[in-house]
Structures are given as structure tokens and as C-alpha cells.
Amino acid sequence: MKFMNQVNSVPKSNGMATTSMVLGILGIFFGWATLGILPLVAVILGHKSRGRIKRSHGQLQGEGKAIAGIVTGYVSLFLSIVVAAMMFIAVTAFHEYIVRASVSEILIVTAPHRVAITEQITDLDNAGSINTDPASIGINIDNDRPPRFIDKISYDRYGVITIVLSRHSKLRDAAGKIVVLVPVKSSGDIKWKIDRSRSTVADRYLPRRQYL
């Protein structure tokens, strides 16, 4: 009978504590891929198993594993948050780069328009009577089939060019917005700058240089 009591009193290993430790370790490497669920489960199981071990009066063992699961769980949870934040920043920066590149492409497409208007301003020696018909100044533009990022290009009698962006998916929140280009006399030459006050495209997508 004494032998039986000794056998029955042998502490048993708590499986929940072991599971917590394993999940915590896995969470360090793969926690970000599970959106933090793996390390969160490790922390919960670690606290539960530790509580059961303390209430078992020596019948359960594995408190060290439970603590290991809690610690690695919190560490992997923190790492998951950091990785997720870095990925979000990287994806956002990439999308902004795509939009900026698309806007730069749009400005390149408008180069013939700027050249034609610059010639008019130079010939007339003023910007008050610009011909607003693209075809009549040698610009072949079909607003029914414009470049992929442009919905429409128009200009007024002062030579101000208004570019309406298309709804292309690559333009994201710049889709459907406008960019306004203004001719400016500088040191006897005609230079072009973006009128940021009238342009509705976010400033972060526009070139930082003063003149195009």
C-alpha cells in the first residue's frame, strides 16, 4: 500500500505547459505569419498551466516550461507587431513609389504640350492669347483614347495646362485628381512649374523640384 501511494504521488508533467513553450518558440519564427495568434495562444496556455500547477500541490510539474512559454510568447508577440508594422510601412512606401512614378510618366507625356505652348508664348511675347486647340498648334491628342494614366488634357488662353488623371488602379488615391502646370518667365526663358494650390493630387506624389 505504501508503494502504491508513492507511485500515485509522483508528479505528472503538465501537457499544457509543454504546448505553451513549443508554441512560444514557434511564435518567434512564425508568429508574424499567423497575425500574432500563435504567440497569443502560447501566453494564454502558459498562464493557465502555471495556475493549475500551483493549485495542484505538487501533483503537476512543468512550471519552468509554462514560464518559458509565457516569456517566448510575449517576445514573439512583440516581434510580430514589429514585423507587421515594418511590412505595412514597406507596402505603403511601395504603393507611394508606384503613384509617384506614374505621375512622373504623366508629366513626361505632357512635354509636347509644354513645348508647343512655350513656342506660342515666345512668339507672342505674352501669355494672354494662347491657342487652346491642340490640333491647331501641332498636338495630336485624342481625348477619347488618352494615355493610360490621363483622362484629359486641356489648357486655357494663358497657357495653363490642366491634366485630369484617369481612374487607373495604379494611381490609387490620386485617381481622378488633377495636376495644373503653369508657364513662368524666368531669366528671359519660359519654365514650367506645378501649381500646387490648384492641383488636387497629394503633394507627396508630385516632384519636389521647383521647375519641370
What would the pLDDT profile of 120-129 be if each residue is shown by its tens digit? 877 765 545 6
**Cell 485624342, residue located:** 142
Sign of the dihedral defined by the CA atoms of residues 163, 166, 172, 173, in that order: positive
SS3 of 163, please?
A: strand
The one-letter amino acid at 16 = M
Strand partners, 192: 183
Q: How far apart are CA 203 and CA 27, in angstroms?
A: 40
CB atoms within 10 A of CB 153: 21
| Cβ proximity of 153 and 163 under 8 Å | yes
Whole-number Å distance between alpha carbons of 106 and 40:
47
Q: How far apart are CA 82 and CA 48, in angstroms?
A: 26
Q: In the chain, what's the furthest Cα-to-Cα distance?
A: 117
pLDDT category, 8, cuts 50, 70, 90?
low
> What is the tens place of the pLDDT at every residue in 73-121?
999 999 999 999 999 999 999 999 999 999 988 888 888 888 888 888 7
Q: State what percent of residues in the chain have pLDDT above 70.
A: 84
Instruction: Please state the pTM of the whole predicted model.
Output: 0.66
What span, in angstroms and rounded, lies between the C-alpha atoms of 112 and 140?
Answer: 10
User: Judging by beta carbons within 10 Å of its beta carbon (0-12, 13-18, 19+), is residue 141 exposed, middle or buried?
Assistant: middle
Q: What is the mean pLDDT of the chain?
A: 83
Quote the strand ranges of the chain, DSSP E. Answer: 12-13, 60-61, 150-155, 161-165, 178-186, 189-194
- DSSP label at residue 173: G
Q: Give the closest residue to 196 by CA, choosing from 188, 184, 207.
A: 207
